[in-house]
Chains A and B, each alone.
Chain A
Amino acid sequence: MKKHREHFSAGAYGLFILAFVGTALLCVCLGSVPISLRDTVACLWNGLWGTEIPAGIAKNIILNVRLPRVLNVALCGAALSLCGAAMQGLLQNPLADGSTLGVSSGASLGAVIALALGVTGASGGVMGMAMGFAFLSLLLILGLAYALDKSLSTNSIILIGVIYSMFVSSILTLIISFSGEKLRTITFWTMGSLSGTNYGHAGLLSLFLALCGGVILGHARELNAFAMGEDNARHIGVNIRRVKLTILIAVSVLIGVCVSIAGNIGFVGLVIPHMARMIAGPNHKRLLPASLFSGAVFLMLCDLAARTVLSPIELNIGVVTSLVGAIAFVTIFYRAGKGRDRGC
Chain B
Amino acid sequence: MLTLRNVTVRYGNFAAADQVSFSLEAGQWLMLAGPNGAGKSTLIEAVTRGVRYEGEILLEGRDIREIRPRQLARTVGVLSQKNAAGYAYTVEEVVRMGRYAYGDGFLSPRDREGREKVEEALEMTGLTALRHAPVTRLSGGETQRTFLAQVFAQDPRLLLLDEPANHLDLPYQRQIFSLIGEWLKAPGRGVISVVHDLALARMYGTHAVLLDRGKCVARGTVDGVLTPENLQRVYHMDVYAWMRETLGKWQS
Contacts and interface: CB of A to CB of B under 8 A. Distances in A.
Contact of B85 (A7, A227, A234, A239): A227
Nearest to A242: B69
A224 B69 CA distance: 17
Interface of B: 48-50, 68-74, 77-78, 80, 83-89, 92-94, 96-98, 100-101, 104-106, 115, 119, 134, 136-137, 147, 150-151, 154
Contacts of B88: 281-282, 341-344
27 contacts: A1-B119, A4-B92, A4-B96, A6-B93, A92-B86, A93-B86, A94-B86, A221-B104, A225-B100, A227-B86, A228-B87, A228-B89, A228-B94, A229-B84, A232-B80, A232-B150, A235-B73, A235-B77, A237-B100, A239-B68, A281-B89, A282-B88, A283-B93, A341-B134, A341-B137, A343-B88, A344-B88
Contacts of A6: 93, 105
A235 B87 contact: no
Contact of B48 (A93, A227, A234, A283): A234
B85 A228 contact: yes
Contacts of B96: 4
Contacts, number: 90
Contact of A237 (B50, B69, B87, B89): B69
Contacts of B101: 236-237
A6 B84 CA distance: 21
A14 to B, nearest CB: 20
Given A237-B154, A283-B89, A341-B137, 11 more contacts: A6-B105, A225-B97, A227-B85, A229-B84, A229-B85, A232-B147, A234-B49, A237-B74, A282-B89, A342-B88, A343-B88
Nearest to B68: A239
B69 A1 contact: no
Contacts of A343: 88
A34 B190 CA distance: 73
B104 A224 contact: no
B115 A1 contact: yes
Contacts of B119: 1
A238 interface: yes
A227 B136 contact: no
Nearest to A7: B106
Contacts of B134: 341
B70 A234 contact: no
